[in-house]
Amino acid sequence: MQPGDKRIILMVEDDPAIAGLVRFRLEREGFIVRHVSDGEEALKEFDNPEIPHLILMDVMLPYRNGYELLADLRARPALASVPVLMLTSRGREQDVVKGLSGGANDYVLKPFRPAELVARVKKLLDEPG
């Protein structure tokens, strides 16, 4: 990436309030946010030739859940190395283990602290603070 290039984040979130908050915080930090609200739309985005730099994904989604989507994107060579941050209320130990062992790079529980979420996104993208 060149200095000044904006990083693209694909957000897969069905709750409009959470999606709005996350979009606001990430765009304020200079990211471009593409948002879809269900598993079918996410699959279409996985075919978008403009590959996101990071995918932020809920687990409980209409049509396909986040674990299924995670398996699908990890099976695609073009997306296999894209960092994935799961943002979900599914906080049982087995849920977290399922997400991380399925290929997620990080797992954040709702309710979340917006500043912490931004810091985790930046860390996954190796961006300063």
Give the pLDDT band of residue 1 (cuts 50, 70, 90). Answer: very low
Global pTM? 0.94
Is position 2 within any domain?
no
Domain contains 1? no
Q: Is residue 84 part of a domain?
A: yes
Question: Is 116 domain-assigned?
Answer: yes
Residue 3 placed within a domain: no
Range of the domain at 98: 8-124
Q: Are strands 54-57 and 32-36 parallel, antiparallel or unpaired?
A: unpaired
Q: Residue 62: which CATH number?
A: 3.40.50.2300
Q: What's the number of domains the chain is made of? A: 1
- Whether residue 22 lies inside any domain: the answer is yes
Average pLDDT, the chain: 95
Q: At what angle do helices 66-74 and 39-46 cross, to 10 degrees?
A: 10
Can you tell me the mean pLDDT for 77-98? 96
Residue 63 lies in a domain: yes
pLDDT tops 70 at residue 71: yes
Write a three-state SS string for 28-91: HCCCEEEEECCHHHHHHHHCCCCCCCEEEECCCCCCCCHHHHHHHHHCCCCCCCCCEEEEECCC
Domain-located, residue 129: no
